[in-house]
Copies of this chain bind each other. A is one copy, B any other.
Amino acid sequence: MEIELAKSYGFCFGVKRAIKIAEEHPGASTLGPLIHNNMEIARLKKDFNVSLANSLEEVKEGQATVIRTHGIPKNDLKKLKEKGGEVIDATCPFVTKPQQIVEEMSEEGYDIVIFGDVNHPEIKGVMSYATGPVHAVLSVEELSRLHLRERVAVVAQTTRKIEEYNKIVNYLVPRHKEVRVFNTICNATFENQDAARELARRADVMVVIGGKQSSNTKQLYTICKQYCPDTYHIESKEELEPAWFAGKKLCGITAGASTPEWIIEEIIGKIREFKV
């Protein structure tokens, strides 16, 4: 049986970068979990002594602290710096960008609309850079309740769909003199999905690796299952069953955005041992 990895899978660029930054700062702590994967957090603790501070209050005076990919609100950054320890910024560059845009556009007098979830850490951070009116909305319906001035600048949460973003833009264009649209969407999630779909079309068995609670892994599973009925969602090699692979020709592998490479490698190794 042949084993093939999806063209795009697992960690996105920003998460890979953040983990590398954490590894380069042994003894530091991260402000919030760096990734939604407890095994990876345990590995960083064990191999690099990188610990976890769940909130600003938990950060000790003088403690070196890594800011995770989502970024943090401007005011939290100030407080963090006041703790006196080194601040190591692993904010994803795709998140730093909307932060900068919001700050600049705000200063230039634009009303800011963010297409994203006001409760998501990324959006809390991005919003905090506004110096004037700023609103986060998830639908045209929410948007229609706002009172915006003539000039509006718009950014999107990195994980939003472009089609949905266009709906927000389409609502604004007829109603405002100027709508300045910044495409801040990151395609990483969609690239994993597209690659999973392409592979599932050809494979006769698919293994999707990632947390059982991880929403992006579940989405990958749903996509693969559509094209390849023998699709299995697992978190670790212990769940693998040899019977899944009996008589199969091509085993496709993909993994959710929080699944580290070493877990994927372990699973591939175990499948090879089945010698089907």
Residues of A at under 8 Å CB distance from B? 162, 165-166, 169-170, 173-183, 185
Closest CB pairs A-B (n = 8):
A162-B174, A179-B181, A166-B170, A180-B180, A178-B182, A173-B181, A166-B173, A177-B183
Kindly state the separation between the CA atoms of A169 and B169 in the bound complex, as whole angstroms.
Answer: 8
Q: Among the listed B162, B166, B173, B180, which residue makes an inter-chain contact with A162, where contact means beta carbons less than 8 Å apart?
A: B173
Residues of B within 8 A of A182 (CB): 177-178
State whether B183 touches A181 (Cβ < 8 A).
no
Q: Which residue of B lies closest to A179 (CB)?
A: B181
In the complex, chain B residues whose CB is within 8 Å of the CB of A170: 166, 169-170
- Note all chain B residues with C-beta closer than 8 A to A174: 162, 166, 183, 185
Judge whether B176 and A178 touch: CB under 8 Å: no
Name the one of B175, B177, B181 contacting A169, with C-beta atoms under 8 angstroms.
Answer: B181
Which chain B residues lie closer than 8 Å to A165 at the CB level?
A: 173
Closest to A181 in B: B179
Chain B contacts for A175, CB-based, 8 A: 183
Q: List residues of chain B with CB within 8 A of the CB of A179.
A: 180-181, 183
Shortest distance from the beta carbon of A60 to any chain B beta carbon, whole Å: 40
Question: For residue A170, which residue of chain B has the nearest CB?
Answer: B166
> What chain B residues lie within 8 Å of A173 (beta carbons)?
162, 165-166, 169, 181, 183
* Alpha-carbon gap, A93 to B5, bound state (A): 60
Q: Bound complex: CA of A180 vs CA of B172, how far in Å?
A: 12
Docked complex Cα distance between A170 and B173 (Å): 11
**Cβ contact of A183, chosen from B178, B183, B185, cutoff 8 A:** B178
Closest Cβ of chain B to A167, distance in Å, is: 9
Minimum CB–CB distance for A187 against chain B, Å: 10
Question: In the complex, what distance in Å separates the CA atom of A173 from the CA atom of B165?
Answer: 9
Q: How far is the CB of A127 from chain B (nearest CB, A)?
A: 20
Interface centre among A165, A170, A176, A181 (most CB of B within 10 A): A181
Closest chain B CB from A251 CB (angstroms): 34
Could you list some 19 contacts between A and B, CB below 8 A? A162-B173, A165-B173, A166-B169, A166-B173, A166-B174, A169-B170, A169-B173, A170-B170, A173-B181, A174-B185, A175-B183, A176-B183, A177-B183, A178-B180, A178-B182, A179-B181, A179-B183, A180-B180, A180-B181
